[in-house]
A = this chain, B = another copy of it.
Amino acid sequence: MIPGPTHVPTRVLAAMATPMVNHRGQEFTALHGEVQAGLKRVFGTVGDLVIYPGSGTGGMEAALVNLFSPGDRILGVSIGAFGDRFVQIARRFGLQVDALEFDWGRAADPGAIAERLAADGEHQIKGILVTHNETSTGVVNPLEAIAKARGAHPALLVVDAVSSLGAVEVRADDWGLDAVVTGSQKALMIPPGLAILSLGPRAWAAAEKATSPRFYWDVLAYKKGFAKASTPYTPALSQWFALREALRMLEEEGLENAYRRHRLLGEMTRAGATALGLELLATEQWSPAVTALYSPVSPAALRKRMREDYGVVVAGGQGRVSESVFRIGHVGCVEPLDLLATLAALEMSLSQEGRQVHLGEGVAAAQRVWMKERSGEL
């Protein structure tokens, strides 16, 4: 129950064990076609995706080096550790970042972004970096509103959707998201090892002009291969097989149903934790993918107890809240029953760590949410 690498469904694990094929041969052509078609539905785009062997962080770097040039001014919106990382990568490549930071636990304010852009009458700002779901705080930014806040300003909107895509709606084309990055090991339900980048027409044009040095991440090398279903360097074939299977599963469930399931999981977690007297780090725009909670006992001891005594693995806090927070991931292949079990383990562990707990109270609160959802009241 960590926010990635998430639990991989058995069907997908089995696909990971598929024997190799020639990555320049006909089997790969079929695989390429099905994976691209499935991903386009999840990203909400008609454009081909760039699929790298890499981690999500690699995808973030790829977006930056392909779209911008050293010295470019960028507005880096951060609401937590991953927003900070995006800014850090940009600075490493010589971009001039104006950081727009919001308190941990808050979402970005589209109005504040609009103000910054309005003050930039000469259009010096070339890009806006936004985290969709901030995994460190459990807050999901209002992406569509942020995209609207950009208005007619020509800055490219670059979105880190590593922990959101597949769990929270993303409509890259409709919302005008110029670049969207994701990783494989979150809501896409496959093991880590792929970074996936969606680029809109303005981003493709920017890639033709950007002067940041790049070879491995160069999207133009990928673009040449789209028509012949070929990647410039050896693709991580096993993850491609797995992704094909996971995309079939998402199609079977229905994307809308997957989003609804994640919203339910988020609400159940909040209801359960709140009933146990725990305080959330997030004060608004709660994430359907991960919930960060202040621990009333040592978070390290609590996590150890949950893992060793009850077999449930939850994540620690990140960055400035690493000593005070723990996080329950509920993204990807997670069912409401898993969450009831997690809350039960949390109750027992809190009790054993000396916290006064009415066993079953958190579970009951989550059950009530689930029953409401089943009866159509949610």
Contact = CB atoms under 8 A, between A and B. Distances in A.
Interface of A: 2, 4-8, 13-14, 16-25, 52-58, 61, 70, 88-89, 92-94, 183, 185, 191-193, 212-216, 232-239, 307, 313, 315-316
Shortest Cβ-Cβ A-B pairs, 4 listed:
A193-B236, A191-B238, A57-B233, A17-B17
Contacts of A61: 215-216
A191 B236 contact: yes
Contact of A53 (B193, B212, B232): B193
Identical chains in the assembly: 2
Contact of A235 (B192, B238, B239): B192
Q: Quick one: which of A13, A55, A70 has the most chain B CB within 10 A?
A: A55
Contact of A191 (B20, B185, B192, B232): B20
Given A92-B213, A192-B236, A236-B239, 15 more contacts: A5-B237, A13-B19, A22-B315, A24-B315, A53-B55, A53-B58, A53-B193, A53-B236, A54-B54, A57-B234, A70-B213, A89-B215, A94-B213, A185-B234, A192-B238
A153 to B, nearest CB: 27
A192 B51 CA distance: 14
Contacts of A313: 22, 25
A18 to B, nearest CB: 8
A121 to B, nearest CB: 30
A20 B93 CA distance: 33
Contacts of A18: 13
Contacts of A55: 53, 216, 233-236
28 contacts: A5-B20, A5-B22, A7-B19, A7-B20, A13-B17, A13-B19, A14-B17, A16-B238, A22-B313, A23-B192, A24-B315, A53-B54, A53-B193, A53-B236, A55-B234, A55-B235, A55-B236, A56-B234, A88-B215, A89-B215, A89-B216, A92-B213, A92-B214, A93-B213, A93-B215, A192-B235, A192-B236, A238-B239
A164 B234 CA distance: 16
Given A20-B191, A237-B192, A216 B58 contact: yes
A315 B20 CA distance: 14
B6 A239 contact: no
Nearest to A162: B234
A185 B23 CA distance: 12
Nearest to A238: B191
Contacts of A8: 19-20
Contacts of A14: 17
B19 A16 contact: no
A57 B239 CA distance: 18
Given A213-B93, A216-B58, A53 B192 contact: yes
Nearest to A186: B234
A215 B92 contact: yes
Contacts of A4: 234
Q: Quick one: which of A7, A193, A239 has the most chain B CB within 10 A?
A: A193
Contacts of A58: 53-54, 216, 233
A8 B238 CA distance: 11
A263 to B, nearest CB: 24
A308 to B, nearest CB: 10
A233 B6 CA distance: 15
Contacts of A214: 92
Q: Quick one: which of A13, A22, A70 has the most chain B CB within 10 A?
A: A22
